[in-house]
């Protein structure tokens, strides 16, 4: 088990090459550090952000160390603590202040960030390689971005040369932030659409707007009353042949520790066999897990019709 001093040393080493782009400095949720499995620490330009997903026995000691670390740092001016295990609990700004226009930078993209919500911040950093894949492969494509949230995949697609992107998410607030993200990146709004729809009830509308040359499925593993991967992912897979172009690229994402890559691969073999599995994208080294099948799974498929 790491001591507090060893944790501080690891943060110091990880932050040495941290610049203005987002960087995960410590990823306890990967299960590699006994006693810290619910702690993450992120570097966001001059902001140090720490989140506890469950209460740790040494939480107070960790926070004291983080305060000392921030005060003695030449890079960090602000320290934010989130206790994600306390529903409705506000985030705490223990040192400095959060800029009103805070955003993350990633591979030339800017994504608005809300560290005060004590919920999802508007940005999922572990999906960086997924967004890079989309940016590289989106040129001249009509893209369907399902469960788009704040539309980071849409930014990647448009910056990669996509002809059009349709963003679909039930949350009007998330889509509003997505619009702001496109404006922040000076992306021409022409060809970018936003639908506040329940995806499972909207396939007829999606079909009318298709077909799509690239489809991104990035759902929550479980969201009460909205989506449950174990029973609802299949419903989307079954509809793919109706909305996809003949050479469509599919990026199917899954971030459930209880479901493996085979969960999706076998479903597609059964319900959308024209899509052939190509590869699983590598996860970022800073999000390393004790069991990669429990971590984020980004699976790429190519539709092949003879």
Domain-located, residue 147 = yes
The encoded tokens of residue 89 equal 């609990």
Q: What is the mean pLDDT of residues 271-295?
A: 92
> What phi and psi, each to the nearest 5 degrees, are found at residue 44?
-130, 85
Q: What average pLDDT does the chain have?
A: 92
My answer on whether 270 and 148 are in the same domain is yes
Band of residue 4 on the pLDDT scale cut at 50, 70, 90: very high
Domain-located, residue 107 = no
Residue 73 has pLDDT above 70, yes or no: yes
Please, what sign has the CA dihedral across residues 272, 275, 279, 281? Answer: negative
Number of domain units in the chain:
2
Q: What is the mean pLDDT of residues 227-244?
A: 92
Q: Any idea what the CATH number is for the domain that residue 146 is in?
A: 3.40.50.150
pLDDT in the model for residue 299:
98
Domain-located, residue 92 = yes
Q: What is the mean pLDDT of residues 140-160?
A: 97
My answer on whether 155 and 36 are in the same domain is no
| Contact yes or no for 213/143 (Cβ under 8 A) | yes
Domain boundary among 99, 114, 133: 99
Domain boundary among 64, 99, 134: 99
Q: What is the mean pLDDT of residues 149-156?
A: 97
Domain-located, residue 292 = yes
Domain-located, residue 118 = no
Residue 222 has pLDDT above 70, yes or no: no
pLDDT in the model for residue 149:
94
My answer on whether 66 and 168 are in the same domain is no
My answer on whether 83 and 144 are in the same domain is no
My answer on whether 170 and 206 are in the same domain is yes
Band of residue 18 on the pLDDT scale cut at 50, 70, 90: confident
My answer on whether 149 and 281 are in the same domain is yes
Q: Any idea what the CATH number is for the domain that residue 28 is in?
A: 3.30.750.80
My answer on whether 205 and 59 are in the same domain is no
My answer on whether 148 and 290 are in the same domain is yes
Domain that holds residue 141: 125-303
My answer on whether 86 and 204 are in the same domain is no
Q: How far apart are CA 284 and CA 265, in angstroms?
A: 22
Q: How far apart are CA 119 and CA 82, in angstroms?
A: 9
My answer on whether 236 and 172 are in the same domain is yes
| pLDDT per position as a tens digit, 74-131 | 999 999 999 988 888 888 999 999 988 899 999 989 999 988 876 788 899 999 999 9
pLDDT in the model for residue 37:
86
Domain-located, residue 109 = no
Strands (E), the chain: 23-27, 39-44, 47-52, 78-83, 92-95, 103-106, 109-112, 142-146, 164-168, 192-195, 212-217, 222-223, 227-228, 244-254, 275-280, 297-303
The encoded tokens of residue 29 equal 């949720």
Residue with the bigger pLDDT between 224 and 302: it is 302
Domain-located, residue 220 = yes
Domain-located, residue 87 = yes
My answer on whether 157 and 66 are in the same domain is no
My answer on whether 95 and 177 are in the same domain is no
pLDDT in the model for residue 17:
80
pTM for this structure? 0.93
Please name the residue that has the structure tokens 């479901």: 259
Domain boundary among 83, 99, 115: 99
pLDDT in the model for residue 30:
87
């Amino acid at each position: 088990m790491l001591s507090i001093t060893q944790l501080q040393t690891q943060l110091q080493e990880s932050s040495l090459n941290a610049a203005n782009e987002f960087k995960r400095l410590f990823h306890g949720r990967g299960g590699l550090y006994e006693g810290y499995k619910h702690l993450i620490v992120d570097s966001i330009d001059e902001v140090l952000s720490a989140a506890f997903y469950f209460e740790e026995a040494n939480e107070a000691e960790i926070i004291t160390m983080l305060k000392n670390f921030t005060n003695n740092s030449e890079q960090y001016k602000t320290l934010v603590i989130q206790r994600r295990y306390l529903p409705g609990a506000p985030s705490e700004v223990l040192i400095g202040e959060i800029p009103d226009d805070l955003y993350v930078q990633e591979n030339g993209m800017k994504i608005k960030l809300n560290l005060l919500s004590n919920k999802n911040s508007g940005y999922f950093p572990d999906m960086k390689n997924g967004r890079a894949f989309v940016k590289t492969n989106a040129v001249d494509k009509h893209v369907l971005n399902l469960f788009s949230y704040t539309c980071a995949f849409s930014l990647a697609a448009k910056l990669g040369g996509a002809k059009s992107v349709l963003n679909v998410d039930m949350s009007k607030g998330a889509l509003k932030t997505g619009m702001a993200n496109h404006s922040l990146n000076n992306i021409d709004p022409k060809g970018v659409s936003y639908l506040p729809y329940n995806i499972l009830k909207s396939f007829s509308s999606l079909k009318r707007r298709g077909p799509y040359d690239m489809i991104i499925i990035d759902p929550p593993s479980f969201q009460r009353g909205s989506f449950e991967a174990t029973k609802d992912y299949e419903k989307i897979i079954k509809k793919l042949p109706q909305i996809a172009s003949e050479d469509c690229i599919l990026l199917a994402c899954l971030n459930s520790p209880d479901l493996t890559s085979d969960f999706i691969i076998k479903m597609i073999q059964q319900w959308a066999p024209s899509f052939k599995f190509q590869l699983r994208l590598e996860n970022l080294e800073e999000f390393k897990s004790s069991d990669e099948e429990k971590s984020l799974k980004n699976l790429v498929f190519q539709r092949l019709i003879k």
